[in-house]
Amino acid sequence: MSINIALAGNPNSGKTTVFNEITGSKQHVGNWPGVTVDKKEGTYKKDRDVKVLDLPGTYSLSPYSAEEIIARDFIVNEKPDVVINIVDGTSIERNLYLTLQIIETQIPLVIAINMMDEVEAKGDTIDFNKLSEILGVLVVPIVARKAKGLNHLMEAAIETARNKKKPNNVQVFDKNIDSALLKVEQLLEDKSPDERRWKAIKLIEGDEVITNGLSDDTIKQVNIIVKEAEKEADGDTEAKIADLRYKYISKILKGIVKKSEKGHVSNKSDKLDKILTNRFLALPIFAMIMYLLFAATFSENFLLIKGLPSPGIWLAGLVEEGWGALTGGIESILSNAGASDWILSLVIDGVMEGIGAVAGFLPLVLVLFLLLSFLEDSGYMARVAFVMDRLFRHLGLSGKSFIPLLMGFGCSVPALMASRTLESDKDRKITMMITPFMSCGAKLPIYAMFAATLFAGSNKTIIVFSIYMLGLVIAIISALLLNKFAFKGETSNFIMELPQYRIPTGKSILIHGWDKVKGFAIKAGTIIFVSTVLIWLLSNFNFTGMVDMEDSFLASIGNAIKFIFAPLGFADWRASVGVVTGWIAKENIVATFGQLFGGIGDEATIEAISSGAQALPEIRDVFTQVSAYSYMAFNLLCMPCFAAVGAMKREMVSWKWTLKAISFQMVVAYIVALIINTLGNLIF
Ligand code: GDP
Ligand code: MG
């Protein structure tokens, strides 16, 4: 018999950690609220008949955000055999609010109290048996990060699912609310009493999603009952119900949680926060940390030591060398086997140069990502979002928008999905329009390529860092303008909790790194491979057969569109083609340059990357430093890759809005690149 288990819990309570441990899968674990936006499925590694589902983190089952709707729809409509509610033991009061709401659905439930290592470190104690007795559910203490207690937890869950054991009908509400509930229940037609009860609670809470499914007549009668109850309660029933739930929780916890004396002294986290979220210091510290991150990725004089390559640069050199050797090997095998010229050209100039150009820069992406995920897992990024909230309020957005924006440094696709966590439609739309301005990992090879070719000798860290900052600044200005001129509406309030600082586990960091490498390998094997072959075909042929590149199809296409880019400083057919192939995947630009300009992936680039010398004479014939900067800015800001456009369409629902967003991004990219090119040529 197969069993369906759903993991539910507050954001950041450790659901994904539990999910990864019990399924053996590698989902992204982040130390901040709102990382899991879609449900993720897996099977229990010790029993493949047990299906496990990681729901998005929610604070309640009321539909305040898209995530809460996903979680609740699943629990209420799909009815898993058992829900495992992951509770953060360090803030059990807040977490139990969701627990009570899950109990209201009367679905079989098991509670896992997580983060017991931190609870014990604080010296607090929790009486699990008593909690279990009161709620009528099994309660299992766990330390998800160390995989402690998980076998027990799964046994408890499977047992509960088999017995179909429902939680106790706990007495949370007062007489007034209870009698109102009874009256509403009588109006409902659902067969199961549990369902009637749950719907009645939601109706008294004023839940519009449930109201929508009722007849006008029923709604009228419900409204009368609610009005009566409000008169009695002397206030809003929704607030009253929330209040009663909290009162109930603090009442039962009195006998269950014993806080130690030393827990009240401000802990290390608080002290660190005094500095890191300080009104004046926070932003300079953030900028400095980011700068260090980029230095570790790009600097040739790492830690100010002359000639010491940063880990990123060092690794990039190794990969380039390895790829060069591999290409050489394949070339000699092919020519020994008597391969024809065009096969050689396709394999070597097309595929190997194209993919190699991107692969050579991959180590830079990897290093930057490992460092970023360290910051994220440690809890620091959540502080940055918190600090940004002050700034974002001035932009008419909530600090919550900063989360998708920051995720955008990784990849726009999950970042766009994360915009679901925003409550107001206005915030969601503006955030989605500006998220692609964040420089994603795939754009990094473009900058690395130009840094190696045109900015040799100058400070590459500053060049690349400034492009990243440019994206951030343009995003902020855009938000301001969109908010002022394109949208009207209120900013929703944002309460974000700051997670404890935690030293990230090596495992979680490695998962992040692996994700990146795997993502690249998949892209290289599919889209980049196909488009390198396509580019090779288009750049070596025209209707008459195989020709010089200058006479190829691709040159005709590029030549036809290059006038558009003349004001931006790069009226070259190869550069124009690069913009277009960049929409397939941004790192494709580098693959395209590798093929069309020749030289990337050769000895010359290895030299350039590791020594800071100038390489790729052909690129320098076409670009100046100013136009290269303008090109980088244009590709940073213009339409994101098709995968991201797809994600935008899914989240925005309508094509109309997606097209609006893309047009906006194109116009912004063009204007910014124009300004850079014009001013740059005046100054330099
Ligand atoms: P989710 O948002 O509920 O999916 O939570 P995650 O699984 O992403 O975990 C949030 C953070 O809590 C991460 O930094 C985890 O490493 C950390 N974490 C998870 N379980 C434990 C635990 O048992 N003890 C401690 N100290 N940290 C944990
Ligand atoms: Mg998660």
Supply the DSSP string of 549-594, one letter for each residue. GGGSHHHHHHHHHGGGGGGGT---HHHHHHHHHHHH-TTHHHHHHH
Element (H, E) at 6: strand 3-9
The domain limits of the chain are: 3-163, 175-258, 287-492+504-683
More confident of the two residues 1 and 622: 622
Whose alpha carbon is nearest atom 17 of ligand 1?
14
The upper half-sphere exposure of residue 551, i.e. CA atoms within 13 Å in the direction of its Cβ, equals 8
Pocket test for ligand 1, best of 19, 23, 145 (most atoms within 8 A of CB): 145
CA of 24 to the centre of ligand 2 (A): 15
C-alpha to C-alpha distance for 595 and 354, rounded to whole angstroms: 6
* 673 Cβ contact list (under 8 Å, min separation 6): 568, 569, 630, 631, 633, 634, 637
Whose alpha carbon is nearest atom 14 of ligand 1?
31
More confident of the two residues 393 and 15: 15
C-alpha to C-alpha distance for 331 and 333, rounded to whole angstroms: 6
What does the pLDDT read at residue 497? Answer: 62
CA of 86 to the centre of ligand 2 (A): 11
Whose alpha carbon is nearest atom 21 of ligand 1?
145
Copy the structure tokens of residue 475. 């995003």
356: nearest Cα among 609, 558, 540, 614: 609
Q: What number is the average pLDDT over the span 491-511?
A: 72
Q: Which CATH number describes the domain made up of 175-258? A: 1.10.287.1770
Evaluate whether 75 touches 102 at the Cβ level (below 8 Å): yes
- One-letter amino acid of 325: A
Q: Which ligand is nearest to the CA of 31?
A: 1
CA of 374 to the centre of ligand 1 (A): 14
pTM of the predicted model over 0.75: no
446: nearest Cα among 586, 641, 583: 586
Separation in Å, CA 107 to CA 80, 98, 160, 458: 8, 13, 10, 63
Give per-residue pLDDT as tens, 246-288: 889 989 999 899 887 765 545 677 788 888 888 889 889 988 8
628: nearest Cα among 644, 640, 613, 616: 616
494: nearest Cα among 417, 397, 408, 415: 397
More confident of the two residues 456 and 327: 327
* 102 Cβ contact list (under 8 Å, min separation 6): 8, 61, 75, 83, 85, 109
Q: What number is the average pLDDT over the span 570-579?
A: 94
The beta strand positions in 101-153, using DSSP E, are 109-114, 125-126, 138-141
What does the pLDDT read at residue 491? Answer: 53
Ligand 1 atom at shortest distance from the alpha carbon of 34: 2
Q: Which ligand is nearest to the CA of 499?
A: 1
Q: Is 145 in the pocket of ligand 1 (CB under 6 A)?
A: yes
Q: What number is the average pLDDT over the span 333-338?
A: 93
CA of 10 to the centre of ligand 2 (A): 9
CA of 16 to the centre of ligand 1 (A): 7
CA of 417 to the centre of ligand 2 (A): 14
Ligand 1 atom at shortest distance from the alpha carbon of 18: 7
Give per-residue pLDDT as tens, 179-229: 999 999 999 988 889 999 999 999 998 888 888 888 899 999 999 999 999
φ/ψ of residue 501, rounded to 5: -70, 140
C-alpha to C-alpha distance for 371 and 296, rounded to whole angstroms: 9
C-alpha to C-alpha distance for 673 and 593, rounded to whole angstroms: 20
Q: Is 57 in the pocket of ligand 1 (CB under 6 A)?
A: yes
516: nearest Cα among 359, 669, 403: 359
What does the pLDDT read at residue 612? Answer: 47
C-alpha to C-alpha distance for 404 and 265, rounded to whole angstroms: 34
Give per-residue pLDDT as tens, 19-49: 999 999 877 666 666 656 667 889 999 999 9
Element (H, E) at 347: none
Using the CB atoms, write b or e for 346-356: b if 16+ within 10 Å.
bbbbbbbbbbb
C-alpha to C-alpha distance for 196 and 562, rounded to whole angstroms: 65
Question: CATH topology for 3-163?
Answer: Rossmann fold (3.40.50)
pLDDT above 90 for 140: yes
- Cβ-based neighbour number of residue 587 at 10 Å: 31
3-class SS of residue 336: helix
Q: What is the DSSP string of 173-194?
A: S-HHHHHHHHHHHHH---SSHH
374 CB-contact burial (10 Å; exposed 0-12 / middle 13-18 / buried 19+):
middle
Pocket test for ligand 1, best of 17, 28, 54 (most atoms within 8 A of CB): 17
Give per-residue pLDDT as tens, 406-415: 878 877 887 8
